[in-house]
Structure 1
């Protein structure tokens, strides 16, 4: 396999992007030793370009991992193709597979969950602190449009985070400032093979429709949309830190009163979700299911603002002299 070299300016740009995110992902601590980087490489043009950039910018410091979803007959050969390129570059390569077939509704979401779970477990076992994915500006713009359509709040509109803490370590997205076209051109010009996943053109998927909207609307600039998502993510980080301070100061347990009625609606939303989750853990409540980061608590907040008690997720919340009190919801009356 004969691979042509990449433009030095692109390699330098990628190196700077990764080093900036590594510093952020290290909580501002000085990184004194070279870190090992795990690259999630699917075989698509974006991730193959990232593989080439990583190998050039951080020689002998990267490892590639491919998750074979086993959703298409061609996937095994695509993973093998990634392995051949890695061998030519001298990059260690690992192939992971799902522990059980990915089936049912929302296959793309199930596939994503299975992929991150497997890669996270692998990275943890390999003692890798950073996992890099090839999400780029066009992905970010598409995600922002999808979240706007769903009526998401600030957290959702922050879209794809450049730095995300995960159970095993830190996920970095160093290509969020890069366009899909420049990555694809880079792969082609460097004689780097890649594959096109046909599911990316399936109109049944929300992302495919968002991509088509961007392509048909020249006035929508993906780079500008991606930048907006980045600014929203910065605002989200400020609110998260502020909510953490309030929580540390005012949460003393479910029955001690959480005094947050005077805070903004957004902060009340975040803190009441956290209080519900904490109370469920303390009281051993498992049902009904509750998603702390995405649960709709608007009706609960409306009731509390009006001075009424309300129940959600198996918890009754009522107003008290020291704030909102959380307790087990009474059993529902049978008809």
Structure 2
């Protein structure tokens, strides 16, 4: 999916007016109030703690702040703008906006974000996606998400930023955890969204999420105290999407049963990521012992595989098929379970399993053989 780069606004540039709704005075009041209200606000303190402790963002770092114009991203931008002016942080911020072009309100939201950036005295970067490149509606949301991250990575590279900050928060984490449970996730999947990761495989730029320990209501309360407006994305209320349905029908019930459910979900995800790291270390050690290569094929001894247990066997096979070129996002627990069942039973003969990216796995009487994509 392509994008079009729009002109940049330079730091300190002032507009004739702040938005199509003539909210200049309200913005200016909010910016002035930030020095008094936001400096000691609990929301800002929580974001600052997460930024340092979990996201490992150092003082003086340059960040692209992904800003859609919604309450979550505007709250993050306003909090980071407060930190940017502190001697202990000295952050260099660039406001980044990706215009998807799939909704009638998209252009007014882009203008809103650019005006907010100018009123905060921050540089603005914009990329316009080509909606025609998304193809049909099947998995369109996933394709747009990949294109959005690619555009944000390109922005960060263009301005020499080390980080891209997004406004995913604790409620998003809870919804993600529920979605993965419903779809059948492994320990790795139940770790949810990470505080910090590479924005793309092999990339230097890091994606950070300093709002994972706060919920949506805390961000909204922060903006209301500042008198800072935001924009609503009507697609967030589309309950044909699983996330929106969970947000409307399931999360309120969980919150009524346990008011701290968002914090509990965040703690669980942190714990599962810790377990995942232990599992990865154990798996890597076993793979070094068990996985070999012969005539271009990856070979694993079947008898040895039966003795390490179902969970570790699944992980060793996952390491091997990734080594053969399979896509990580297509090698889930459900894909591997049928292979593991075949390895653990006592049947002989040859059984083949076509995995993604052309990778072929064969279970024989004595071995598990994995042929890389394109080799057959």
Deviation string 1:100-144 (CA, Å, 9 cap, x unpaired) is 433422332222122112212332343322211111111111111
Quick one: distance in 2 between partners of 1:163 and 1:107? 25
TM-score normalised per structure 1: 0.84
Corresponding residue number in structure 2 for 1:28: none
SS of 2:257's equivalent?
coil
Question: Contact 2:100/2:130 (CA < 8 Å) preserved in 1?
Answer: no
Corresponding residue number in structure 2 for 1:68: 99
Whether 1:189 aligns to 2:228 is no
How far off its partner does 1:319 sit? 4.9
SS of 1:161's equivalent?
coil
Stretches of structure 1 lacking an aligned partner (at least 5 in a row): 26-30, 330-335
TM-score normalised per structure 2: 0.76
Corresponding residue number in structure 1 for 2:161: 128
How far off its partner does 1:328 sit? 7.5
How far off its partner does 1:78 sit? 0.6
Q: Pairwise mapping of residues 84-99 of structure 1 onto structure 2 (< 5 A)?
A: 84-99=115-130
Q: Pairwise mapping of residues 74-85 of structure 1 onto structure 2 (< 5 A)?
A: 74-85=105-116
Of 295, 318, 326, which residue of structure 1 is paired with 2:370?
A: 326
Corresponding residue number in structure 2 for 1:332: none
Corresponding residue number in structure 2 for 1:215: 252
4+ long deviations beyond 4 Å: none
> CA 1:275–1:320 in structure 2 vs 1: closer, same or farther (change >3 Å)?
farther
Stretches of structure 2 lacking an aligned partner (at least 5 in a row): 1-26, 86-90
**Higher mean Cα deviation, 310-319 or 208-217?**
310-319
> CA 1:328–1:116 in structure 2 vs 1: closer, same or farther (change >3 Å)?
closer
Question: Contact 1:243/1:267 (CA < 8 Å) preserved in 2?
Answer: yes
SS of 1:274's equivalent?
helix
Corresponding residue number in structure 2 for 1:149: 182
Corresponding residue number in structure 2 for 1:310: 351
Question: Contact 1:40/1:133 (CA < 8 Å) preserved in 2?
Answer: yes
Deviation string 1:119-178 (CA, Å, 9 cap, x unpaired) is 123323433222111111111111111111222221221121122223232211111110
**Higher mean Cα deviation, 175-184 or 114-123?**
114-123
Q: Pairwise mapping of residues 230-245 of structure 1 onto structure 2 (< 5 A)?
A: 230-245=270-285
Q: How many residues align?
A: 316
How far off its partner does 1:294 sit? 6.0
> CA 1:188–1:144 in structure 2 vs 1: closer, same or farther (change >3 Å)?
same
